[in-house]
Chains A and B, each alone.
Chain A
Amino acid sequence: MKTHALIAAFEHPGALLDAAVRVREAGYTHYDCHSPFPIHGMDDAMGLKRSPVGFIAGGMAALGATIGFSLQTWVTTSAYPLVISGKPMFSWQAYIIITFALFVLFGAFGAVFGMFGLNRLPRLHHPIFHSELLAKASDDGFLISIEASDARFNEEETRAFLASIGGTHIELVRGE
């Protein structure tokens, strides 16, 4: 069994936020803050960049709208043009709604599956799940885990560091 991470609990969201700053300032990069809900200001505290989900969703939405509009245009003007109610073959006004619906649909797919992709979900097995402490994050735990893969990781030093910034219940998580 090799070491996966060290994980420590903090008292409340405020304490976690402070601790996150300390961890970042200490130069750790392979770490994460676990909480039962997203904590306001945590991205800044951890120094994370803005999520690219928006661009994925936006791109997909544009794709959806394009597909929608071009499919309708192609069908009514080229694939099988039929005179319907004496209206022009290219009745763009009528295409707006389906174009919009596909815009939203693809955008939503982009947002959701983009998020899953960026978060590498689903990932049902993860070494961190060996932690007993992690389950507290389901409820009212505010945790920081520092992974062994971090260049600065040293079991003893990191354990001491976590304790120094207020971490309790420090647990060594062993992966396989």
Chain B
Amino acid sequence: MNNKTQDADASAMKTGKDYWLSLRDKADTPEYRALVEREFPEGTVELASSMNRRTFLTLMGASMALAGLTSCRRPEEEIVPYVSKPEEITLGNALQYATSMPLGTENYSLLVQAREGRPVKIMGNALDAHTGTASNVWANASILGLYDPDRSQMALANGAESSVQAFVGAWTPLFAKYAANSGAGLALLVQPFASPTLQRQLEAFRTAFPAAIVATWDAVSDANQFAGHGSAFGRPLRAVYDFTEADIVLALDADPFGTEYAAFENARGFAERRRVEKPDDSMNRLYVVEPSLTQTAALADHRLRLAAGRIPSFTASLLHAMAARGLAVPASLLAAAPADKSIDTAWIDAVAEDLLAHRGRGLVIAGRGQDAFMHALVAVINSLLGNNGSTVRYTAQPFANESDPASLSALTAAMNASKVETLIVLGGNPVFDAPADLDFRGALTNVGTTVHVGLHRDETALACGWHVPLRHYLEAWGDISSLHGQLGVIQPLIEPLYADGISDAEMLALLAGGTLQKGFDLVKATWQQLTPGLTDRAWRGILHDGLLPREIVFEAPAPSIDAVAAVLKPALFTAPALSADNMEVTFRLSPAVHDGRFANNGWLQEFPDPVTKLTWDNAALMSRSTANALGLNDGDLVRLNCAGRETPMPVWVMPGQAEFCVTVTLGYGRKNGGRVGTGAGFNAYRLRTSKALFHATQLTVGPAFSTVPMACVQDHHGLDLEKMAREGVQERLPQLYREATLEEYQKDPEFAKERVEMPVLRSMWKDHEYKEGHQWGMSIDLNACIGCGACTIACQSENNIPVVGKKMVLNGREMHWIRIDRYFSGEDDNPGVRIMPVGCQQCEMAPCEQVCPVAATSHDEEGLNVMTYNRCIGTRYCSNNCPYKVRRFNFYNYTKDMPETVQMAQNPEVTVRFRGVMEKCTYCTQRITIGKIAAKRDGRALKDGDITPACEQTCPTGAIVFGDINDPESRVAKEKQRDRDYALLGELNLRPRTTFLARLRNPNPKLEAK
């Protein structure tokens, strides 16, 4: 949508409903259906065409520069003002509203920027002490989810268009019936949540229908942990880690900085202990044991690859090694958990000694994929080491309704036994993601009345009799509770885009109470209960802040060793040997599309997996030697067979994968995933059973029967580098990515600058001096970067970066302005991982500028390397001459066929680029300009931190620092003073404004020597 016609947008908002009704009609055309049915939607390029106004004008603008060659006057354009203007809106100025995003039981406190009543950008809410302005990939991308044109827009009743009102009509007699029989025959399947209002409604439902079945299901959850902690503590508690206190961290098949819960806070705490500012600062040490390389392992000081099924053996061996070194481990425990001598004993001994040397300052974490007994055992180990209460505490999340896979099994059993007459699926997509052995789709056929309430007309919606559209969280009222007990209000920031729909709170209230109530009233009522005596003024304050800071006290109960020992059995610690005939499969949540719920989000589909760098696809990850043993290569399409269940999946060779261990990512292979999600990847849920939700053995891999082109943003084409090229990469890596061990750093704090023999950096001319005014610069701390990629998506959202589709990515044309480079070093089997965010480095002596024949890229007064899209003729010479290859070219008109709703997600402060134009990171020049104007308007001086680019703002660990390098007091100037500061390819004398702080590792000397 056009930034110059805010007035017009405003009126569109006002008459929003009619507008969207007509769009819905449009969306039902045969072309649209054909699109949805296509196997491989190739991104935007080939979608049905209609030139949008903005791009048309971009073109016109250029041709009008020919000025008057046409005799006609300019096209007439209308200004459509408000009839009566809403008080809070000042046209042209952004407004920020606080709200929260729920994801399972996770809570993201957000600040949403809105333009003329239309949310355009999501940021973290600085008032949330635990996350600050940070947010993650999913939160950032959820803005696109709001404008998803494939979101369900109207209720369906047996496939025919219907309405929420009609559903209310249909529910009323059922309500009466079940109210009378206590709910016998009624079942409710919900997704996990942590919400006072939803919890209250669910209680009301249970009270109204005591005989009804209530199940909670999410494909990936921490149920194992609850079960394990249930046996250790007698209660299903959740572990909360304090990384700031931990000197030694051991992650057992865990990804605490990646896809597991509380990842921001974990990463933040971890990074704090890595923010080494001077040589005598201390630093933590991270050990990782896992079957498949995770984002967490990329940060590890030591990593051991081990099949998921053997992690218990490792843990037992560790326990024995610690016992041998003086840890008082009860004999019952040692007997129940026998050691496994076949695992690298030197490694185990080193970890054992390290943990023992840091009692109370160590931390052992079991991943959510590990079985319940492992969580119990780990709780005991932490307790024995004295870490309990120091680095790890426990809590039950307030108002949380956690996922319980057993409840889904019970529900399906009841359905199959025809004990369920009416099933209501509130959110989620169980037909797609329920364990394959439950055959949820088949079970549905035994239920008389099935109701699905969801955002999309997905697999479950089509399998149910009723489908009721759910409101997106940005257009509904709700509330939320965090792990820390902080309460947040979810507020609608926009009138619902589609007239027909219902929020989850409203739905639950309807089910429990039989009448349709307003979401706002439900939430307000809950909060009046929560905070007795809530005044209007206080309520407005809460709505303004979006949250009510509250801290619950975490507990540190002692685990019952006897109870844990009773759970453990030696049989649990003997994993069968893996071979080509009996491989292990592990299931992983997608860092992009989650469990499949974000499959129709183009930004996320095109988001490169932080470790594999794959986009638009998942794959069967296996090690080089496993692939060789099976005679397979990248992109080979094979059939994975796990105990009789089969799914096709392309192979991707992944360094660091345990032998005969295949890892697959969930969430792909949607059949009714919308125009973007349908057909992307392959469905791994087909292999997943309720007994083995995270890892299973008995996997066999069939021969290749086809190939799939895999869109990897690095090593495009899955190009296997020749030996010569591999050596070349390894040779230059120490210069590009500078790192040292803590010890080396202490000996030589200036090591980063000495990694390259620098010539004298002198120019043959008098250099331009950037001394006046603000001079912008950036510093990226490689020691703090966890490679999560939130910056990539935040940037995409802020800067209107188009999604180009799989075909284009395959051709090396992805558009991300800031990418996360990932390199492997060392051995293929267990490589070191190097992660480095690279955007435009804003070189002072930018090589791109001098080669542009039309001066479309040049420097501004503040040292920015600016790119003027409307001047660009597209020679691509600048990109060729950029040593960082951060410039991106619009090979096609990528926004040509952007659906109107998606256009609403565009940031009006940034030009939408037309075909044939080069683009790149600008340090968010629009934010700089707006920040400067705002300061001038208010008559104040800009201060450090007033202006933050989207990447810095969203970075969970504060690895990115931006500011005025001309101000010696600014954070960035200080960062750049640090001894670890270095410029990527600094020897080229381009004087990049972005510099990096070299990474430090803290290896255990005992293991390093080996």
- Which residues of A are at the interface with B, using a C-beta cutoff of 8 A? 82-88, 91, 94
Q: Is B849 an interface residue, CB under 8 A from the partner? A: yes
Contact of B855 among A84, A86, A87 (CB under 8 A): A84
Question: Whole-angstrom distance from the CB of A85 to the nearest CB of chain B?
Answer: 4
CB-CB contacts of B211-242 with A at 8 A, as 1s and 0s? Answer: 00000000000000000000000000000000
Can you list 10 A-B pairs with a CB-CB distance of less than 8 A? A82-B855, A82-B858, A83-B858, A84-B849, A85-B847, A85-B850, A86-B844, A86-B845, A88-B765, A88-B768
B847 to chain A: closest residue by CB = A85
Specify which chain B residues have a CB less than 8 angstroms from the CB of A82 in the assembled complex. Answer: 855, 858-859
Q: Which residue of A lies closest to B845 (CB)?
A: A86
| A91–B845 CA distance with the chains assembled, in angstroms | 14
A150 to chain B, nearest CB (A): 57
Are A84 and B850 touching (Cβ within 8 A)?
A: yes
Give the complex CA separation of A93 and B378 in angstroms.
Answer: 70
- Assess whether B991 is interfacial by the CB under 8 Å rule: yes
B767 located at the interface, meaning its Cβ lies under 8 Å from any Cβ of chain A in the complex:
yes
6 additional A-B pairs beyond A84-B855, A86-B846, A87-B768, beta carbons within 8 Å, are A82-B858, A84-B858, A86-B845, A87-B765, A88-B766, A91-B765
Residues of B with C-beta under 8 A to A91: 765
CA gap between A83 and B862 in the complex, in Å = 11
The residue that A83 contacts in the complex, of B765, B847, B859, B991, with Cβ under 8 A, is: B859
Which residues from chain B contact A84 at a C-beta distance below 8 Å? 849-850, 855, 858-859
Whole-angstrom CA separation of A9 from B859 in the bound complex: 73
* Distance (whole angstroms) from the CB of A136 to the closest CB of chain B: 54
* 7 closest residue pairs by CB, A with B: A83-B859, A86-B845, A85-B850, A86-B768, A82-B858, A85-B849, A84-B849
CB pair B845–A85 under 8 Å, yes or no, is yes
Q: Which residues of A contact B847 (CB under 8 A)?
A: 85
Choose among A82, A83, A86, A87 the residue with the greatest number of B CB atoms under 10 Å from its CB. Answer: A86
- Interface residues of B: mostly helix, strand, loop or mixed? loop
Among residues of A, the one whose C-beta sits closest to the C-beta of B989 is A86
Contacts of A94 in B (CB 8 A): 850
Hey, what's the 0/1 contact readout for B756-774 against A, CB within 8 Å counting as 1? 0000000101111000000
B768 touches A83 (CB 8 A): yes
CB distance from B598 to the nearest CB of A (A): 42
CB distance from A96 to the nearest CB of B (A): 14
Which residues on the B side are within 8 Å of A83 (C-beta)? 768, 858-860
Chain A residues near B860 (CB-CB < 8 A): 83
What's the Cα separation between A87 and B847 when bound, in Å? Answer: 11
Q: Find the A residue at minimum CB distance from B855.
A: A82
**A85 contact set on B, CB distance < 8 A:** 845-847, 849-850, 859
User: Do A86 and B858 touch (CB < 8 A)?
Assistant: no
Residues in A neighbouring B850, C-beta threshold 8 A: 84-85, 87, 94
Min CB gap A74→B, angstroms: 15
Q: Which residues of A contact B855 (CB under 8 A)?
A: 82, 84
Give the complex CA separation of A86 and B762 in angstroms. 13
Measured between beta carbons, the chain A residues less than 8 angstroms from B849 are 84-85
- Min Cβ gap B966→A in Å is 16
CA distance A85 to B768 in the complex (A): 9
- Within the complex, what minimum Cβ distance (angstroms) separates A4 from chain B? 51
Chain B residues lying within 8 Å of A88, measured Cβ to Cβ, are: 765-766, 768
In the bound assembly, the distance between CA atoms of A94 and B844 in angstroms comes to: 19
Distance in angstroms from A170 CB to nearest chain B CB is 62
Determine the distance from Cα of A84 to Cα of B844 in the docked complex, in whole angstroms. Answer: 9
Q: CB-nearest residue of chain B relative to A89? A: B768
Q: Which residues of A contact B767 (CB under 8 A)?
A: 86
| CA A82 to CA B850, docked complex, whole Å | 11
Interface centre among A83, A88, A91 (most CB of B within 10 A): A83
In the complex, A91→B844 CA distance in Å?
Answer: 17
In the assembled complex, the CB of A79 is this many whole angstroms from the nearest CB of chain B, namely 11
**A residues less than 8 Å from B766 (CB atoms):** 88
In the complex, chain B residues 855-873 whose Cβ is within 8 Å of any chain A Cβ: 855, 858-860
Please report the C-alpha to C-alpha distance between residue A88 and residue B849 in the assembled complex, in whole angstroms: 13
Residues of B within 8 A of A87 (CB): 765, 768, 845, 850
In the assembled complex, the Cα of A84 lies from the Cα of B865 at a distance in Å of 9
Give residues 773-799 of B contacting A (CB, 8 Å): none
B residues 403-444 near A (Cβ < 8 Å) are none
Residue numbers in A under 8 Å from B991 (CB-CB): 86
Q: How far is the CB of B263 from chain A (nearest CB, A)?
A: 41
A94–B858 CA distance with the chains assembled, in angstroms: 16
Among A87, A91, A94, max chain B CB count under 10 A is at A87
B886 shortest CB reach to chain A, Å: 16
B764 → A minimal CB distance (Å): 9
> Shortest distance in angstroms between A80's beta carbon and chain B's nearest beta carbon?
8
Q: Smallest distance from the beta carbon of A88 to chain B beta carbons, Å?
A: 5
Task: Report the Cα distance A88→B844, complex, angstroms.
Answer: 13
B872 to chain A, nearest CB (A): 15
Tell me the B811-852 residues at the A interface (CB within 8 Å).
844-847, 849-850
Chain B residue at minimal CB-CB distance from A84? B849
Chain B residue at smallest Cβ distance from A91: B765
Q: Which residues on A sit within 8 Å (CB–CB) of B859?
A: 82-86
With the chains together, A86 CA to B765 CA distance in Å? 10
| Among A83, A85, A87, A91: residue with most chain B CB under 10 A | A85
Please measure, in the bound complex, the distance between the C-alpha atom of A85 and the C-alpha atom of B865, giving whole angstroms: 9
**Distance in Å: Cβ of B844 to nearest Cβ of chain A:** 5
| Nearest A-chain residue to B859, judged by Cβ | A83
| C-alpha spacing A167/B767, complex, angstroms | 76
State the Cβ distance, A58 to closest chain B Cβ, in Å.
30
Distance in angstroms from B878 CB to nearest chain A CB is: 11
For B768, the chain A residues whose CB sits under 8 A away are 83, 86-88
> Which residues of A have CB within 8 Å of B846?
85-86
Which positions 257-281 of chain B face chain A at CB distance < 8 Å? none
Give CA–CA (A116, B860) in the complex, Å.
50
CB distance from A94 to the nearest CB of B (A): 8
Give bound CA distance, A91 to B764, whole Å. Answer: 11
**Nearest A-chain residue to B861, judged by Cβ:** A83
C-alpha spacing A108/B850, complex, angstroms: 30
Chain B nearest Cβ from A119, distance in angstroms: 39
Chain B min CB distance to A43 (Å): 47
Q: Across the interface, name the chain B residue whose C-beta is closest to A83.
A: B859
What's the Cα separation between A87 and B859 when bound, in Å? 10
A81 to chain B, nearest CB (A): 10
CB closest residue in chain A, given B858: A82
Question: In the complex, what distance in Å separates the CA atom of A84 from the CA atom of B845?
Answer: 8
Q: How far is the CA of A85 from the CA of B844 in the complex (A)?
A: 7
Interface string of B981-992 (1 = CB under 8 A from A): 000000000010
CA–CA, A105 and B358, complex, Å? 80
Q: How far is the CA of A94 from the CA of B850 in the complex (A)?
A: 10
A101 CA / B763 CA spacing, docked (Å): 27
A87 vs B850: C-alpha distance in the bound complex, in angstroms? 9
Closest Cβ of chain A to B849, distance in Å, is: 4
Q: Which residue of chain A has its CB nearest to the CB of B991?
A: A86
A29 to B154, CA, bound (A): 103
* Bound-complex Cα distance A94 to B845 (A): 16
Q: Which residues of A lie under 8 Å from residue B844 when comparing CB positions?
A: 86
B422 to A: closest C-beta gap in Å: 71
CB distance from B842 to the nearest CB of A (A): 12
- How long is the Cα–Cα vector from A91 to B763 in the complex, in angstroms? 13
Contacts of B845 in A (CB 8 A): 85-87
> Smallest distance from the beta carbon of B816 to chain A beta carbons, Å?
25
A63 to B81, CA, bound (A): 58
Q: How far is the CB of A97 from chain B (nearest CB, A)?
A: 13
The CA of A82 and the CA of B856, in the complex, are separated in Å by 11
Distance (whole angstroms) from the CB of B986 to the closest CB of chain A = 15
CA distance A88 to B765 in the complex (A): 7
Give bound CA distance, A37 to B138, whole Å. 83
Nearest CB in chain A: distance from B661 CB, A: 50
**In whole angstroms, what is the CA distance A82 to B767 when docked?**
14
- Measured CB to CB, the nearest residue on chain B to A90 is B765
CA A37 – CA B860 in complex, angstroms?
Answer: 62
Assembled-state Cα–Cα distance A85/B770 (Å): 12
In the complex, what's the smallest C-beta–C-beta distance from B983 to chain A, in angstroms?
15
- Docked complex Cα distance between A134 and B584 (Å): 99
